[in-house]
């Protein structure tokens, strides 16, 4: 699954266009490397998202097309 879609489905970013812009501005890295929105997310990937002053690091646990609102947080685990 594409990174921009996964970020939207997992609800880390609310809209796919915002996820696209974050990738274009190199605010998203996968396994330590800046990635484009078309990057294919795999289970076990370590993603780092920078939102202004805040940085979120997550490990991808599940890659699924459709996930309910209550199950979205189970798609990733926050890494400290």
**In contact, 50 and 27? CB cutoff 8 Å:** yes
Average pLDDT, integer, range 14-37? 96
Residue 77 neighbours by CB under 8 Å, 6+ apart: 58, 59, 61
pLDDT band at 4 (very low <50, low <70, confident <90, very high): very high
Closest CA to 77 of 39, 35, 44, 30: 44
Domains of the chain listed by start with CATH number: 3-78 (3.10.290.10)
Give pTM, 2 decimals. 0.92
pLDDT > 70: what percent of the chain? Answer: 100
pLDDT exceeds cutoff 90 at 35: yes
3-state secondary structure of 31: coil
16 vs 18: CA distance, rounded Å: 5
Report pLDDT for 80.
84
């Amino acid at each position: 699954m594409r990174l921009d879609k996964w970020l939207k489905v997992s609800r880390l970013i609310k809209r796919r266009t915002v996820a696209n812009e974050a990738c274009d501005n190199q605010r998203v890295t996968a396994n330590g490397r800046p990635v484009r929105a078309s990057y294919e997310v795999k289970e076990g990937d370590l993603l780092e998202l920078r939102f202004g002053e805040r940085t979120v690091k997550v490990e991808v646990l599940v890659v699924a097309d459709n996930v309910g609102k209550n199950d979205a947080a189970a798609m990733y685990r926050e890494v400290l």
